[in-house]
Amino acid sequence: MKVIQVFDPALCCSTGVCGVDVDQALVAFSADVAWANQSGARIERFNLAQQPMAFVENAAAKKFLERSGQEALPLVLVDGEVAMAGRYPNRAEIARWAGILQLAPEPKPSANCCSGSKCC
């Protein structure tokens, strides 16, 4: 299985889901990471404030920081290659990178469907 590494900006804790003003994108991403890990994915996260050496020791992360600065984080690597930067991936992107098969979404009723009919 592929290794997904997420290089987070400086966060107050390991997930960033703490404190008074919680970023909802981090809440969703943390839930997606938990789901992916339960599905067998291998996701590693590194926080610039708490694990700065991880950024220095990873050639791709170091080069990214030198070129783009910490304002451009988060950085997502898949098997050591840059997959995304500047935002957190959604569940579908994580699933694709990790090779996790997602369940098909529930079918939605047609806009032409009328109440009580059998067309839905």
What pLDDT band is residue 36 in, cutting at 50, 70 and 90? very high
Q: Who has greater pLDDT, 102 or 53?
A: 53
Question: What is the distance in angstroms between the CA of the first residue and the CA of the last residue of the chain?
Answer: 39
Q: Who has greater pLDDT, 82 or 26?
A: 82
DSSP conformational letter for 36: H
Among candidate residues 65, 42, 43, 68, the one with its CA nearest the CA of residue 52 = 65
pLDDT of residue 25: 86
Residue whose pair of structure tokens reads 């703490």 in the numeric block: 18
Q: Who has greater pLDDT, 115 or 40?
A: 40
- Average of per-residue pLDDT across 52-58: 97
Q: Global pTM?
A: 0.78
- Average of per-residue pLDDT across 45-64: 96
Spatial distance between the Cα atoms of 51 and 119, rounded to a whole number of angstroms? 56
- Average of per-residue pLDDT across 68-88: 97
pLDDT of residue 9: 93
Spatial distance between the Cα atoms of 32 and 110, rounded to a whole number of angstroms? 29
Percentage of residues in the chain with pLDDT exceeding 90? 68
The encoded tokens of residue 5 equal 């590494």
